[in-house]
Amino acid sequence: MLVLGIESSCDETAVALYCGERGLVHHLIYSQTEVHQQYGGVVPELASRDHVRKLAPMVEQLLAEANSNMAQIDGVAYTAGPGLAGALMIGAALGRALAWSLGKPAVAVHHMEGHLLAPLLETPAPTFPFTALLVSGGHTMLVAVEAVGDYQLLGESLDDAVGEAFDKTAKLMGLGYPGGPALAKLAEQGDPQAYRFSRPMTDRPGLDFSFSGLKTQVANAIRAGGQSEMANIAASFEQAAVDTLMIKCRRALALTKHATLVLAGGVSANRQLRRVMGEWGQANNVAVHYPRGEFCTDNAAMIALAGCLRLQAGEVVSSNWRVQPRWPLTDLTKPG
Ligand code: KG4
Ligand code: ZN
């Protein structure tokens, strides 16, 4: 089964071909960073316009580079939410139209389900059941995953997502947009013990997160320390965020009794997070999986994969053509 995946929920335009039997065939990602950089964040209207400009030519390029053609496609998977409404509509309109013209099913994929399943693009792939830490720019969630579509939310952020905290902190430090990777890079030159920022909500039971307070602590440190302290502040902030995620993951695994931990979403590209989780997993007999860097952040390979798994499991394609800018992951059900 060959599935075309389309991702356009935010500021990446991406397309992919995933084969149920052979795995990922080909994929392309175009980042709009340059479009939004001068504004210090994503401008929704500009994002939509750029998706319109790029998406159809990218599908053509994808098929040509993969020596494939439209007639070989068995289904079209597109991101239907959560995300920016206008941006989602571009991908949904193209995905639905292509599927309709081919007489093939169109599958509306949940962006975070895509992230959650992205580690399945790797070898060895994690096996179900597993506990997932989903860390992106919009979400911080701990999820018990029994199977595709069988998700139990264990905990989530009550305010800023951890990626958002990285981005806002980076902005405070004058590191520009997108801030997360820039902050992580600067942190490599700093001492993570230089400042003791709090590990929010770890002093009480539960699996929820709160990251908004950290940026206030960082703002105070910047004011007191000045420019020469930036690397130390970045490293100490990163360590506080990673420690907090680690503590909650350990708690979640104690609850689920799963032997596999999956890290996914943009922040799972963070090297310090991967290192800390990996070392802990090795010492505690927990298999830790995460996608390669380009599949941590937004991509269409994960959307094509999720769509393919749903179609293979007997997803009944609905006539619901809505996009859902807000769409709780827990609304999803098992396909079939
Ligand atoms: O999953 P994603 O590409 O988009 C959303 O669905 O939100 O995640 C983007 C987020 C941004 O907040 C970005 O700063 C963060 O992931 N990010 C990182 C790193 N790479 C991306 N945060 C920390 N360290 C990184 N290396
Ligand atoms: Zn994402």
pTM as predicted: 0.96
- pLDDT > 90? residue 227: no
Tell whether the model's pLDDT for residue 200 goes beyond 80: yes
Cβ neighbours of 236 (radius 10 Å): 23
Among all ligands shown, which has an atom nearest to the Cα of 11? 1
φ, ψ of residue 157 in degrees (nearest 5)? -80, 135
Asked if residue 319 has pLDDT above 80, the reply is no
Query: Measured between alpha carbons, how far is 131 from 293 in angstroms, rounded to an integer?
Result: 20
Q: What is the pLDDT of residues 150-179, one digit of tens each?
A: 999 999 999 999 999 999 999 999 998 889
CB-based burial, 136-146: b 16+ in 10 Å, e otherwise: bbbbbbbbbbe
Per-residue pLDDT tens over the stretch 131-151: 999 999 999 999 999 999 999
Burial of 165 (0-12, 13-18, 19+ CB in 10 A): buried
- Ligand 2 geometric centre to CA of 46 (Å): 18
- Rounded distance, CA 59 to CA 301, Å? 13
Strands of the 12-19 sheet, one edge to the other = 23-31, 12-19, 2-7, 75-81, 106-110
Report whether 267 contacts 273 (CB < 8 A).
yes
pLDDT > 90? residue 321: no
* CA-nearest residue, atom 14 of ligand 1: 180
How many C-beta atoms lie closer than 10 Å to residue 219's C-beta? 15
Ligand 1 pocket, residue 136 CB under 6 Å: yes
* pLDDT at position 286: 98
161 lines ligand 1 (CB under 6 A): no
